[in-house]
Amino acid sequence: MGIRKKKLSEIESNDSPIISTHEGGSIVLANLDAMIDWARRNSLWPLTFGTRCCAIEFMAVGASRHDFSRFGNEVARASVRQADLIIISGTINYKMAPVLKRLYDQMPDPKYVMAMGACATTGGPFYYNSYAVVKGADHVIPVDVYIPGCPPRPEAYFYGLLQLQKKITKERYYTDKKRKKAEKE
């Protein structure tokens, strides 16, 4: 009785992403992909970027009761060049949008974006009749995971983080045939 490795298509939503296989390449490259993905998803360091009330919930997630360093977010970096993950917690308005775009451009690859809270997802309570709010941060930068709530509970934040980790598990750098073909051209 050993642990049977599951294919990616068989993983259900509550499974741990560690047990998976990468198909489509030779043994060396597929395992290299698995190792890179494991390293990237378990060491995401977020940027300290919080504008409104969700920033306080983000701080509470980093504190001692709900601790995000158990999931790999060890420290929240202040400088953009040292961060992997930008968590947009709060409202984005028309004056702040160029600042957000500049921060995203300055981040080195691989970078991921999480939209936390109702304001960053779609504009939130400020959707109707507000002249200054961008209705959703995905009008400015591409977003990977959306976490609803106003503000979302720390447990909701962790569910979003785990979904992001599953998304990273599906990335294939060396065994991605379509990308290699596009690069050759």
- Closest approach, Cβ 44 to other proteins, in A, equals 18
Q: Cα–Cα distance between 155 and 147 in angstroms, integer?
A: 11
Distance CA 74, CA 69 (A): 4
CA distance 185 to 181: 7
CB of 46 to other proteins, least distance (A): 12
With H, G, I as helix, E, B as strand and everything else as coil, classify residue 146: strand
| Bridge partners of residue 133, in order along the sequence | 93
State whether residue 53 is helix, strand or coil: coil
| Closest distance of CB 72 from other proteins, Å | 19
For 16, 85, 96, 105, 116, the CA distances from 161, given in Å and listed in that order, are: 13, 11, 25, 22, 10
User: Which residues are CB-contacts of 49 (< 8 A; sequence separation ≥ 6)?
Assistant: 86, 87, 88, 89, 100, 103
Shortest distance in whole angstroms from residue 64 CB to other proteins: 5
Interface ranges with other proteins (CB under 8 A): 47-53, 55-57, 59-60, 63-65, 78, 80, 90-91, 93-96, 99, 103, 125-133, 135, 150-151, 153
> Shortest approach of other proteins to residue 152 CB, angstroms?
10
How far apart, in whole angstroms, are the C-alpha atoms of residue 43 and residue 71? 8
Comparison of 36 and 133: residue with beta carbon closer to other proteins: 133
